[in-house]
């Protein structure tokens, strides 16, 4: 939803009339390390959601449709567009939202996050092979090793979550040619750009405070605290820092993430347009209240 359609939703709806309260179909397209936890916390706070309202991501990934109870209102975990489409039975209630981040920063944050959480998660037996390799090997090696599990996170992950046929399996294991090949990534980008226009809300990490105001306004929610949740700790390890990568490796990674850069630029334009429409709508409403329109 963009342009006049987005403005019309402001003009024609009161608090809650276009949002989850009236149409329980809000689903979050959530690539990892895109500040989506911060947005999730704001939504849960605004709607008073508790654990019983959340659909575990395992339910979606394992295709357990029977486990999705009517009171479930929100998916927790990293969900692709196709995951979201599968779980929403009533398309009249379809309200997909997404956060997007600079793709290089997202990739570096993913590596640092895995490295910082690796010891604990490995002891718990969660994704042990990935944590083993990230703890043992520097970023500069994993970027070029196609056999590594982390190599998958050097793909245009945000484009793949939005536009690829990834369904029920986030890219933690080996990815097939359906998402690795340039032709397939081009197709994913075309679908992602078309779906970008259909997102009910887009949050850009660098302007997340502004964009969360737009989300709250469009749904009639109170403006919530925008403190960043689940941040990656500051880098104290040279092997987890961008400075470890020489210019050639940075160029290689930027080229591999090209689709995500295109997606980011288009998302920025839409998010900025919607913020401008919110400000304009608020000004018109204020003028009407003051009897000047």
Residue 95: closest CA among 211, 216, 200, 203: 200
**Range of 6-20, 48-62, 185-199, 220-234 with top mean pLDDT:** 185-199
> pLDDT band at residue 230, thresholds of 50, 70 and 90?
low
Distance CA 260, CA 114 (A): 21
Whether residue 223 contacts residue 47, with contact meaning beta carbons closer than 8 Å, is answered with no
Which of 195-199, 212-216, 223-227, 258-262 has the weakest average pLDDT? 223-227
**Portion of the chain with pLDDT greater than 70, in percent:** 63
Which of 129-133, 148-152, 214-218 has the weakest average pLDDT? 129-133
Q: Is the pLDDT of residue 5 over 60?
A: no
The full set of domains in the chain, from first to last, is 3-289 (3.40.50)
- What is the reported pLDDT for 19? 31
What's the token pair of residue 41? 């916390």
- What is the reported pLDDT for 184? 87
Does the global pTM surpass 0.85?
no
Q: What is the DSSP string of the chain?
A: --HHHHHHHHHH--TTSSSTTTS--EEEE--TTSSHHHHHHHHHHHHT--GGGEEEHHHHHTT-GGG--TT--EEES---HHHHHHH---GGG-EEEEEE--HHHHHHHHHHHHHHHHHHHHHTTSSHHHHHHHHHS-HHHHTT-TTSSGGGGGS-HHHHHHHS---S--TTS---HHHHSHHHHHHHHHHHHHHHTT-SEEEEGGGHHHHHHHHHHHHTPPPPP-PPPSPPPPP--GGGSGGGS-HHHHHHHHHHTHHHHHHHHHHHHHHHHHHHHHHHHHHHHHHHHTT--
Residue 26 pairs in a beta bridge with: 95
- What is the reported pLDDT for 244? 75
pLDDT, mean of residues 258-271:
97
- What is the reported pLDDT for 206? 93
Q: Is the pLDDT of residue 259 over 60?
A: yes
Whether residue 45 contacts residue 224, with contact meaning beta carbons closer than 8 Å, is answered with yes
Q: Is the pLDDT of residue 73 over 60?
A: no
Averaged pLDDT of the chain = 75
What's the token pair of residue 142? 């994993």
Opening angle at CA 28, ends 215 and 272, nearest 5: 40
> pLDDT band at residue 115, thresholds of 50, 70 and 90?
confident
Q: Is the pLDDT of residue 163 over 60?
A: yes
- What is the reported pLDDT for 169? 54
Of 265 and 19, more confident: 265
pLDDT, mean of residues 233-259:
80
Of 142 and 86, more confident: 142
**Range of 1-5, 20-24, 63-67, 261-265 with top mean pLDDT:** 261-265
């Amino acid at each position: 939803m963009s342009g006049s359609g987005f403005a019309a939703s402001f003009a024609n709806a009161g608090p809650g009339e276009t949002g989850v309260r009236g149409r329980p179909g809000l689903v979050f397209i959530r690539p990892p390390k895109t500040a989506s936890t911060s947005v999730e916390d704001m939504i849960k706070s605004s709607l008073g959601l508790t654990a019983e309202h959340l659909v575990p991501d395992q339910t979606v990934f394992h295709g357990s449709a029977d486990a999705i109870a009517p009171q479930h209102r929100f998916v927790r975990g990293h969900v692709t567009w196709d995951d979201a489409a599968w779980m929403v039975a009533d398309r009249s209630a379809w309200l997909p939202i997404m956060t997007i981040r600079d793709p290089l920063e997202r990739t570096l944050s993913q590596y640092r996050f895995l490295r910082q959480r690796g010891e604990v998660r490995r002891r718990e037996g969660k994704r042990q092979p990935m944590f083993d390799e990230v703890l043992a090997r520097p970023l500069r090696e994993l970027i070029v090793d196609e056999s590594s599990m982390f190599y998958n996170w050097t793909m245009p992950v945000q484009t793949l979550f939005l536009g690829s046929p990834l369904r029920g399996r986030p890219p933690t294991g080996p990815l097939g040619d359906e998402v690795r090949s340039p032709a397939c990534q081009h197709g994913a980008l075309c679908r992602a750009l078309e779906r970008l226009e259909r997102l009910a809300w887009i949050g850009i990490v660098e302007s997340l405070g502004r964009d969360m105001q737009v989300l709250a306004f469009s749904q009639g929610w109170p403006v919530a605290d925008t403190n960043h949740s689940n941040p990656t700790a500051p880098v104290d390890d040279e092997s987890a820092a961008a400075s470890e990568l020489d210019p050639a490796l940075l160029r290689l990674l930027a080229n591999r993430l090209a689709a995500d850069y295109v997606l980011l630029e288009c998302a920025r334009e839409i998010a900025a347009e919607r913020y401008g429409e919110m400000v304009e709508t608020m000004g018109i409403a204020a003028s009407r209240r003051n009897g000047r329109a």
